Structure 1
Amino acid sequence: MTAVSLEVTPPHAPGTIWRLSADLYLPPGEPPRTVQLLLPGLTYDRRYWTAPGTAGYVRHAVAEGYAVLALDRPGTGASEHPPADECSVEANVEAVHQVIRTLRTGTAEIPAFSYVVAVGHSLGSGIALLDAARHHDLDALVLTSLVHAFGPLYPEAAPALHPASGDPVLGPTAFPENYLTTKPGLRSRLYEHEGGVDPELSAYHEETKSTVPLGEGLTMDAIYQPGPAAEVDVPVLLVAGQYDRLFGGGDLSTEQAGEVVAYEGKFYTAVPGLEAYVLPDAAHSLNVHRTAPRWYAAAHEWLARRLPQAAPRRAVGN
């Protein structure tokens, strides 16, 4: 693993630089042609992808022979924390677009990659979706925990937040004004399926929570509009937790992959062969659940099948 720093320019301030933090993982041998860009969701940072034991997505992806860049989005983790109102969904999309451009051209620390696949969780999925719709700079999308229907717990998501500077896990760090995180103990209720998460992973889930700038929360509506999905024209895999209570509901059940494809196909009208995978015994935060390795395997089988030209050799010894 190599810690890397990337500089991006926010769209509202051309002369300003935001410094983003990321970890680059490479399998043994020559760098592969394909990199997975991992984008965490609201109140998460790159540690979402490196849970201990078999729950670590990064470990699985590298074992499959992929390079991985696990990114802390603006305002999260070790990345720069700009004023909260500047850190909007739009700013995130443009930051990700610049990171993708860097992955294709390379730097002294980062090899140049021929193929870039975005793997997102929740809000991170939405940012990848908007980037693909606007910039057409990705080769495939794996969008987890995001569909165009809200679940019964979605109205509780905003009231579950409080100032990050006063949180027992994140405080007393002096975050900028209007940086928030989940209130103590609520992650398990909102994001976990009871009985589907081992106690040590539930503790990790709480201990690794991150910040959300208010600007993200106030601008998320752009993700849920039908227009952006209709502009995506590369392969898409949707991954849903069987018991996700934040997304899915009404006319959409997340218990069967076919039902997810039938519903979401009305939005992803230009995607060639939209597919879905439903992770059993899991809720919104897929990666902390006992069944998480099943979706890791499904995603890599899908990538090898739908993007064979980008499939790497498996890492040595795996």
Structure 2
Amino acid sequence: MRTSVRTLAASAAAMLLCLMCPGTVDAEPTAPPDQCRELSFAAPQGILAASLCLPDRPTDTVMVFMAGSNYNHTYWDFPYAPETYNFRRAMNAAGYATLVADRLGNGASSKPPSVSLTATATAEALHGIVQALRHGVTGVAPFATVVTAGHSLSSGTSVMEATAYHDVDGVLLTGYSHALDIPEVLGVISTYHPAADDPVFASRGLDSGYLVTRPGTRERDFYGDGNVDPQVLALDESTKETFSLTEYPDGLTSTLPGMSSLINAPVLLVNGSLDRLSCGPGYTICRDSATLLDAEAQYFTPAAQLRTFVLPRSGHSVNLARNTVAYQDAVVDWMRTVVGR
């Protein structure tokens, strides 16, 4: 696919920019033992679907997850071998509430015209979710501590939300850096095709601006060599998700110097050592956690208390690497020792 930056910028300029409505639609509880309930958050472009899950003990801390452009809620709430790959359950087991939300145009959320999808609109929607959780959603007391967590594109929207509104207590960024490998980014983009041409999505009536990865391309795009369970890869392919290139121009601004320096809450930045998108040419900034910290510290102020973690042999999708439990443990340690709850 050949799409110029100017074309992308023009598409982004045509977006519908509206503020997120803070209210929620009535929720229906799901079955125990996960203590989860489905929620819907109203936005000008439609409805964001989400699932709020509570731990087995009282907490006033919630973590809000959104997946990147090629994933939906299953990235954080993976059903296969959940003791290893289900990040949401790992955080619930550590004592934190979680809310996993699908972006607009994604998963169970509304599918507005693809040209209306932007990272800016997603950041505003994320802000509405944060505020709703602080004020209390249906049947759940307000949360005193709210931490946002993103992957790839949604890490960018987490940066945008945190710098625009300063209303979160921590920011987890994964698959993100200020040293994108542009040729690799373009190589991944070249594996996209219209969702209408994909056998998984052909019958869904989506407009031609909705894209997905071509069958058989995800292993190279998002995984480290040999560090993926074949059953994970098969489920990943069957649950892959739609997005629009109009989400990229403003989303990528979060990786430019300047914006992240406005974050005044603790930040944990996580990458896989073989992330072909976020580790720079030759994976140079992801040799280990200390190297990543040296590379990224210049883009954050002391208020961010920046921590970094590199998951060995993982590609872009750290949640689904064979050794992902080590990354889960690093997040729990950061939550307990830095976020402070």
TM superposition score normalised by structure 2: 0.85
Tell me by how many angstroms 1:270 deviates: 4.2
Give 2:161's match in structure 1, choosing from 131, 136, 142. Answer: 131
**Structure 2 match to 1:267:** 299
Tell me by how many angstroms 1:87 deviates: 1.0
Task: State the superposition RMSD in angstroms.
Answer: 1.5
**Structure 2 match to 1:315:** none
**Structure 1 match to 2:65:** 38
Instruction: Tell me, yes or no, if structure 1 residue 122 matches structure 2 residue 152.
Output: yes
Amino acid corresponding to residue 287 of structure 2 in structure 1: E
Give 1:57's match in structure 2, choosing from 56, 63, 87. Answer: 87
Amino acid corresponding to residue 276 of structure 1 in structure 2: T
**Structure 2 match to 1:179:** 210
- Whether contact under 8 Å (1:84, 1:176) holds in the other structure is yes
Tell me by how many angstroms 1:213 deviates: 1.9
| Higher RCO structure, 1 or 2 (CA under 8 Å, sep 6+) | 1
Give 1:8's match in structure 2, choosing from 38, 43, 52. Answer: 43
Instruction: Tell me, yes or no, if structure 1 residue 93 matches structure 2 residue 120.
Output: no
Question: Residues 246-299 of structure 1, C-alpha deviation per residue, up to 9 Å, x if partnerless?
Answer: 111249421211111111111112434311011012100111111111100111
**Structure 2 match to 1:28:** 56
Question: Residues 116-168 of structure 1, C-alpha deviation per residue, up to 9 Å, x if partnerless?
Answer: 00111111111101111111011001111100112352121221111112212
Give 1:161's match in structure 2, choosing from 192, 214, 217. Answer: 192
State the SS of the aligned residue for 1:283.
Answer: coil
- Whether contact under 8 Å (1:81, 1:176) holds in the other structure is no
State the SS of the aligned residue for 2:202.
Answer: coil
**Structure 1 match to 2:270:** 239
Q: Distance in 2 between matches of 1:28 and 1:297?
A: 19
* Unmatched runs of 5 consecutive residues or more in structure 1: 10-16, 311-318
State the SS of the aligned residue for 1:107.
Answer: coil
State the SS of the aligned residue for 1:219.
Answer: helix
TM superposition score normalised by structure 1: 0.91
- Whether contact under 8 Å (1:24, 1:70) holds in the other structure is yes
Tell me by how many angstroms 1:205 deviates: 1.3
My pick for the range that moved more, 195-204 or 213-222, is 213-222
Q: Distance in 1 between matches of 2:278 and 2:57?
A: 40
Q: Distance in 1 between matches of 2:172 and 2:249?
A: 25
Q: Distance in 1 between matches of 2:199 and 2:292?
A: 38
The runs of at least 4 consecutive aligned structure 1 residues that moved more than 3 Å come to none
* Unmatched runs of 5 consecutive residues or more in structure 2: 1-35
Aligned residue runs from structure 1 range 145-156, under 5 A? 145-151=175-181, 153-156=184-187
State the SS of the aligned residue for 1:69.
Answer: strand
- Whether contact under 8 Å (1:4, 1:109) holds in the other structure is no
- Whether contact under 8 Å (2:151, 2:173) holds in the other structure is yes
Amino acid corresponding to residue 47 of structure 1 in structure 2: T
Question: Residues 77-116 of structure 1, C-alpha deviation per residue, up to 9 Å, x if partnerless?
Answer: 0101111111111111111111111111112244311110
Q: Percent identity?
A: 33
Tell me by how many angstroms 1:27 deviates: 1.2
**Structure 1 match to 2:338:** 306
Q: Distance in 1 between matches of 2:259 and 2:302?
A: 11
Question: Residues 155-213 of structure 1, C-alpha deviation per residue, up to 9 Å, x if partnerless?
Answer: 21221111112212223211133011111111111101121011101111111111102
Amino acid corresponding to residue 37 of structure 1 in structure 2: V
Amino acid corresponding to residue 184 of structure 1 in structure 2: P
Amino acid corresponding to residue 232 of structure 2 in structure 1: L
Q: Distance in 1 between matches of 2:156 and 2:250?
A: 11
- Whether contact under 8 Å (2:57, 2:95) holds in the other structure is no
Q: Distance in 1 between matches of 2:257 and 2:280?
A: 17
**Structure 2 match to 1:191:** 222
- Whether contact under 8 Å (2:196, 2:202) holds in the other structure is yes
Amino acid corresponding to residue 40 of structure 1 in structure 2: A
**Structure 1 match to 2:13:** none
State the SS of the aligned residue for 2:161.
Answer: helix
